[in-house]
Amino acid sequence: MTFIYALLLAIAFVPFNLAAPELGKINSRVTGGNLAEPGDFPFLVAPQLNGKQWCGATLLNAYTVLTAGHCSINIPPENVTVRAGSMYWQSGGTIANITEIKIHPSYRPTVGQYDVAVWHLGMPIQPSDTISYAKLVAQGYDPPVGLSATTAGWGNTAENQTVEGSDKLRWVNVPIVSRQDCSAYGQITSNEICAGGEEGKGSCPNDSGGPIWNAETREVMGTVHSGGGCGLRGVPILYTNLGTMGDWVRQNIWSA
C-alpha cells in the first residue's frame, strides 16, 4: 500500500493526457460528481477528436474556445469539433468545427507551464437558453485558500475505469488548496492553482482543458492541467491559473 500511494504521488502532476491511455480506450469524467441539467453550465463545450470525446473546453465568445495546451499540441484543427448547449458529448446542441489552434508561446510539454490554448471556431455559436459565454477572472486574481470552486467534465468516474459510463456531464465542488500544501507533490508556481484532495471528488484523465470556476461568481479562474489522484484523498489536481494568463487569452480571442 505504501509503495502504491507513493507512486500515485509521484505521477500526481503529470499532464492528464500524457498519463492517460490511448484515445478511445477511456472517456473521462469528473469523479464523485453530480449529474448536470440543461443550462446548468452553458459555457462548457464538449470537444471531439475524430469523433471521440477529447478533453474539455470553455466557450469564450461566438468564435473562441479555451482549453489546455496539452490538449492542442500536434492536433490538426480539421479533426476537431466542439458541441455546445448539450449535457451529452455525443448528441444534441450545436456543433462547430475548428479552423485554427493557438497555444501559449511559452508552453513546453516537458515543463508544463503556460498550459493554455485557444481554438478558432469555423462558425459562430450564438447564445441560447443552454449556451452562454464564460467570464474570466481579472488579471492578477488569485483565489483564496478554501474558496469553493466548481469543475465539470464528461467520461469515466474513476482513474482506472476501462468501460464507458454515461456520456452526461457531471460537476463537483472542490476547495482551493494552498500552493505550500500542494508543493508536497511537485513544484508549483503562481501560474498554477491547486484544488481538490477530498476523497472521491475531482477531475480525471481527459477532463484536461475543462474549466474550474468560482462557485459563487461563476468566473472561470483556471483550466484542468494535471493530476493523478482522480478523487484520491489528499492528492489535489493542478489547474492553469488564468489570473496570470488571462491577458494572453483575451488578446487572442477571435471576433469573426
Write out the catalytic residue numbers. Answer: 70, 115, 208
Q: For the CA atoms of the chain, what is the radius of gyration? A: 16
Q: How far apart are CA 242 and CA 100, in angstroms?
A: 21
Q: How far apart are CA 96 and CA 153, in angstroms?
A: 19
Which amino acid, 214?
N
Q: How far apart are CA 153 and CA 212, in angstroms?
A: 10
Q: How far apart are CA 148 and CA 172, in angstroms?
A: 10
Instruction: Record the cell numbers describing residue 104, joined without a space.
Output: 501559449
DSSP 55: -
Q: How far apart are CA 71 and CA 61, in angstroms?
A: 20
Around Cβ 216, how many Cβ atoms within 10 Å? 10
Whose CA is closest to 81, among 50, 111, 107, 104? 50
Q: How far apart are CA 146 and CA 149, in angstroms?
A: 9
Task: Give counts: helices (H), strands (E), the chain.
Answer: 4, 14
Which amino acid, 99?
T
DSSP 243: H
Q: How far apart are CA 91 and CA 47, in angstroms?
A: 12
